[in-house]
Every structure is written in structure tokens, then in C-alpha cells.
Structure 1
Amino acid sequence: MSLGLLGVALFALSLPMTRLAVGSTQSPQLSPEFVALGRAAVAGVLAAAWLVWKRASWPRRRDWALLAAMAGGVVFGFPLLTSIALREVDAVHASLILALLPLFTAALGALLAGQRPSVGFWVFAVLGAALVMVYALLHGAGRFAWNLHWADGLLVAAMLSAAVGYALGGHLAQSRPAGDVIGWALVLSLPISVPAAWWLRPANAVQFSAWGGFGYVAVVSMWLGFLAWYRALALGGTVRISQLQLLQPFLSMMAAAILLHETLGLTTLLFAGAVLAVVSVARRMPVHQAPHPAPDSRS
């Protein structure tokens, strides 16, 4: 739980920092494509050095396909889609759209691990997601419900990409160190991320704050945060630990209020307390291992 909370806290700054890096349509900074691929390139180089230093073992042959799918979700899909979307909408709005990520992660994690969450777990998981969505309707003053932006579609796709990457990473981290899992996924991405980042590098000067945001998402969001997060998923189970992500939207909004001066009111704090209570109860609900089929006596 402690590692999971650390991972969520580190990831919570990803959206505000990405917003800081890309700017807005009125004041653009780094291009969304460069931010997404550049962060993967920087993290990939760091991960390669880490793997060499610790003399990490090579992935098993059957793991390469899972690592590639994981990279497609968390190395390319989520960063690229959110970077483009955050040019159009603010970090608070994006945080709300991504609030259903824990449910998708839990569902995929249960399928991969052969687990059967109890009915109580799903009741509280859905309740937590419902609280977040109610907050979205109230906080957005109708924007989310009645005036969907095209960027919201990108954020939904980003949420699905992250859920796939988190579930696969948590599954792989059960059989090898979490640092190796994200490390090999990043290294596997280097042949694409490095040339693309170099091609997309900014031609004009950008603000120092934009480079600061880029540095955070490259080093912390894309690498260090995953060390804690995937280890937590392996130790506590993807289904249970993923529910800590319900707190991430509120942490992101608080960070956006501090760093970007976006609006944050009392309603946000009240809903954050309610979601925290739901997470505390949901993580105590039993999660059962699905029974394995009995062996065929004729074999």
C-alpha cells in the first residue's frame, strides 16, 4: 500500500507537468509529440544504464510480446494521447476523465491473474468511480455532460492504454523485479523513441518551466514512478492496489491548482475525503483465486 501510494503521488504530477511542458493553444511550448516520445527516449536511456549496472537478466522469450504490448500502452499510448489532449483542455478536466482508470486496471488485472474479486469489492469500486463521475458533473458545471470536447476522446483512449500497460506490467512484475519490467519495456522502445524525439526536437526557444515539466515526466513519471507502482502491483495484487488510483485525480487537481493556478474548491476536498473512505473499505474486500480445472483422469 505504501509503494502504491508513492506511485500514485508521483503519477499525480504527470498531468500538470505535461500541461506545463506543452503549454496551451494560446501559448504553445514543446510539441505534444516531442514531449511524449522525448520522455520515452530519456527514460529509456536511463533504464538501459540501470539494467547494465545491475546486470539484469534478459526477459524470457514469451515475455517479449507482453513487454511490447505494455510499451504500447504506457510508453507510447498514454503519454502521446494525454500530451495532445492537454493542449486543448486543462489538467483538472483531464484528471476527471481519467478517473475511471482503476476500474479498467482492476478488470484487466483480474483476468490476467485468474482472480475473482468479491461482489463487495466491485460494489465499492463502482461506488468510488461513481463519486468521481458525480464530482465531474458538479465541478464541470455541465461541461463534461453537455459539451464534450474532442480531446475527451483522446483521454478515454489514453485511459484504456494505461489500463492495459498497468495490468500487463503488474503481471510481469510477479515473476521479475519491477525495475526490470519497466526498464526492458523502455529499452524495447528506444529504436522508435530516440529517432522520433530527435526528429521532433524543438526548433525555437521555449520557456524554462516547459523544460522542467518535460524533465519530470521523463525521469519521474516514465521511470521512477513505475519502479514503485509495478512493485506495489506485484506485492498487493493488481485488483486491490489499482483502487489507489481513485485518489490520483484529486492529487492531480491539487497539483494543478498549485503549479498552474487552476481552480480548486471545497467540493474537491470533500469528494477526495469520500473517495479515500471508499478506497479504504474496498481494499479490505476479499479477492479470491479462480479455481483451476481438474486434470483429465484419462491423460
Structure 2
Amino acid sequence: MTANDSATAPGTIAVNSGGGTAHPEVSGTTGTLLAALGVAAFSLTFPATAWGLEGFGPWSVTTCRMVLAALVAGGALAALRVAPPHRRHWPGLLVVAAGVVVGFPLLTTLALQTSTTSHAAVVVGLLPLTTAAFSAVRTGIRPSPVFWAAALAGAAVVIAFAVQQSGGTPTTGDLYLFAALLVCAAGYTEGGRLAAHMPGWQVIGWALVGCLPVAAAGAALALRYEPVHLGGHAVAGLLWLAVGSQFLGLLVWYRGMAAIGVARASQLQLAQPLLTLVWSVLLLNEDLSPAAPAAAVAVLVCIGVTQRARMPEKPERTRIRAGANMEDRP
């Protein structure tokens, strides 16, 4: 634990970099709920992107969502007078920024120019397994064989569903999506690790603020060279991407990961493709495959197994009492 920690032992008060006290440790049930809320927010990302592309170009959608989200995050950080994070957290924040602020939004937006949201959703359904693998490498925590068996089974269901939906023919959009899987898994893993040292909203907040200068310059160029046709769908999609997916969704997601672990939280995302399919039908009038209900049941079973699988104990973390150690002050 450090002075920026957002989770403390009962009876322990952690001092954050802003001079206040961090909120108490979140229970496993609450952490699971927070992570699930993040998944629900993320499930609307692809439909919202499709709406945004109705009125903006792909580069405009990506950069404008970054700018809007950074302004929201920056306003919250300024209003609460949160001091900048300790320098030793900057490399991790850079990974978060590269993965979930820039890389994933850009690559998936480019993919959705040629792929349907339902196809993109099932391909990105491999994200839980990818995130769990990154987490095992990064944290040294090795989930049990039962966990991996259930995770691989869930991934197999998602792959089979993708093949059934698209005929299994790789496209340029698929290449963008597979690249998005890698950068997003790295960003999720590093963000989950950082959320054990600072509140989750500060993790994504500082990552967004750090990208603001580049995002603003990119948005200015993109809006100049790409056509803009403002409409209800385009504006609503862009606003959800910025506030819902890019900020609020990641806020609760990182908090949930800090409470229940990156590997366990990542498996909740097995439900994300199926939620996205529902939104695709309701919001975009896309056809839903008859195999979707069967896939939904199979994936939910896999989620239940991963959530109950035995996990190794986390390494003991140092407890910081109020005023005992202020090493994280900038």
C-alpha cells in the first residue's frame, strides 16, 4: 500500500496524494458489481461508435471522444484538487493511455468501418482471456487450472460464435480488432494494478488528461479534413463514448479490478459480446443469430466457473496508517 492507495485494511486510513483519505476497501461482492457495471458500459461502445460514424469520420470520432473525456476527467481532478500521481506511476499510466485511451478506441473505430458491430463484438470477446494472460505475466499471480479451463472454454464459445456469424473469413477489420485486443489487455492489466495504489477514477483521469494535448491537435486536424454531418445519433454516440465508455465505464471497471483481481474481473467481459449483440439489434436493427441464446447460456456458465475458481492469495501489501508514510507525494 502507498499513500495513494484506494484500498486499505479495516481500521486503516490511507492518505491520498490530494491530501484527503482514500475510501475503504471494497468487498468482493461490491467489486464484482462495479466490474459488471463497467462491462455493461463497455457493451454499448460499438453501437455508440457506429452511431458516431454516421456523422463523423473515424479519426474525428476517436480524437473528439478523447478530448471530451479528458475535459470531464480534468474538471473532476481540478475540482477535487487531486495532486499529480507519483512519478513511479507514470510509466503505468502511459501504458493505460496507449492501450485504452488511444489504441483500443482508434483500432476498433477503424475496424467498424468494414465490420458490423455484432462481428466486432464476438471477436473482441477474446479480450478476457488475453487480459488474464497479460495479468499472469505482469503480476506473477497464477490462476488455478480450473480457472484457465473455464476461460478457454468461454473463449472457444466466443470463437465458434464468431465463425458462425462471419463464416470464419479474416478481414482487414479483424486485423484491427486483434491488434485492439493486445493493446487493450495491456492497458486493462496495468490500470488494474495502478488501481490498487490510487482510486480507479484517478487512473483513467490522469491517463486522459495526459493525452489531451495530442488529442486536441488530432481533433482539430480530423475535423478539418473529415466530413461532419451532425445528427442525433452522431452526437449521442460521441457523448456516450466520451462520458460513458471512456470515463465512467473505466472508472468503475478499474475499481472493480482492484477489488477482485484483474484475472477474475476480466472474465466478466465474456458477457460483453452478447450484451453488445442485444444492443446491436435494439439500436442498429442488426440481425441476431439464432445461436445467440445458446452461446449466452454457455458463456454465463463459464463466467460462473471462473468467479468460483480458486485464486492464489495476493502478495501481502504494506498497510499505510494516516501520516505514517507520505512517499507518494509529488
Q: Name the SS for the 1:266 alignment partner.
A: coil
Q: Is the 1:116–1:290 contact (alpha carbons within 8 Å) kept by the matching residues of 2?
A: no
Q: Deviations over 1:89-124 (max 9, x none)?
A: 110010111111001111112223221111111011
Report the equivalent of 1:168.
190
Q: For 1:223-234, what aligned pairs fall within 5 Å after superposition?
A: 223-234=247-258
Report the equivalent of 1:295.
none
Report the equivalent of 2:172.
150
Gaps of 5+ in 2: 1-31, 317-330
CA deviation after TM superposition for structure 1 residue 291, in Å: 7.9
User: Any runs of at least 4 consecutive aligned residues in structure 1 with deviations exceeding 6 A, and if so which?
Assistant: none
User: Which residue of 218, 234, 248 maps to 1:196?
Assistant: 218
What is the alpha-carbon distance in structure 2 between the residues aligned to residue 291 and residue 59 of structure 1? 23
Q: For 1:35-50, what aligned pairs fall within 5 Å after superposition?
A: 35-50=61-76
Report the equivalent of 2:15.
none
CA deviation after TM superposition for structure 1 residue 205, in Å: 2.8
Q: Which amino acid aligns with 1:112?
A: R
Identity of aligned residues (%): 40
Q: Is the 1:116–1:289 contact (alpha carbons within 8 Å) kept by the matching residues of 2?
A: no
Matched, 1:82 2:108: yes
CA deviation after TM superposition for structure 1 residue 203, in Å: 4.9
Q: Deviations over 1:196-253 (max 9, x none)?
A: 1122125543332111111110111100101110000000000111000100000011
Q: Is the 1:70–1:185 contact (alpha carbons within 8 Å) kept by the matching residues of 2?
A: yes
Report the equivalent of 2:42.
11
Report the equivalent of 1:210.
234
TM-score normalised per structure 2? 0.83
What is the alpha-carbon distance in structure 1 between the residues aligned to residue 63 and residue 90 of structure 2? 21
Q: Is the 1:45–1:187 contact (alpha carbons within 8 Å) kept by the matching residues of 2?
A: yes
Q: Which amino acid aligns with 2:133?
A: A
Matched, 1:117 2:156: no
Report the equivalent of 1:132.
158
Matched, 1:276 2:307: no
Q: Which amino acid aligns with 1:40?
A: M
Distance change >3 Å, CA 55–CA 290, structure 1 → 2: closer
Distance change >3 Å, CA 232–CA 290, structure 1 → 2: closer
Q: Which amino acid aligns with 1:195?
A: A
User: Which residue of 253, 258, 261 maps to 1:237?
Assistant: 261
Distance change >3 Å, CA 279–CA 200, structure 1 → 2: same
Distance change >3 Å, CA 291–CA 214, structure 1 → 2: closer
What is the alpha-carbon distance in structure 1 between the residues aligned to residue 191 and residue 90 of structure 2? 12
What is the alpha-carbon distance in structure 2 between the residues aligned to residue 188 and residue 93 of structure 1? 32
Please provide the CA RMSD for this pair.
Answer: 1.5
Comparing 131-140 with 14-23, greater Cα deviation is found at 131-140
Matched, 1:69 2:100: no
Q: How many residues are paired up?
A: 283
TM-score normalised per structure 1? 0.91
Report the equivalent of 1:178.
200
Q: Name the SS for the 2:291 alignment partner.
A: helix
Comparing 106-115 with 218-227, greater Cα deviation is found at 106-115
What is the alpha-carbon distance in structure 2 between the residues aligned to residue 290 and residue 177 of structure 1? 19
What is the alpha-carbon distance in structure 1 between the residues aligned to residue 315 and residue 276 of structure 2? 39
Report the equivalent of 1:296.
none
CA deviation after TM superposition for structure 1 residue 63, in Å: 0.8
Q: Is the 1:110–1:238 contact (alpha carbons within 8 Å) kept by the matching residues of 2?
A: no
Gaps of 5+ in 1: 24-28, 293-299
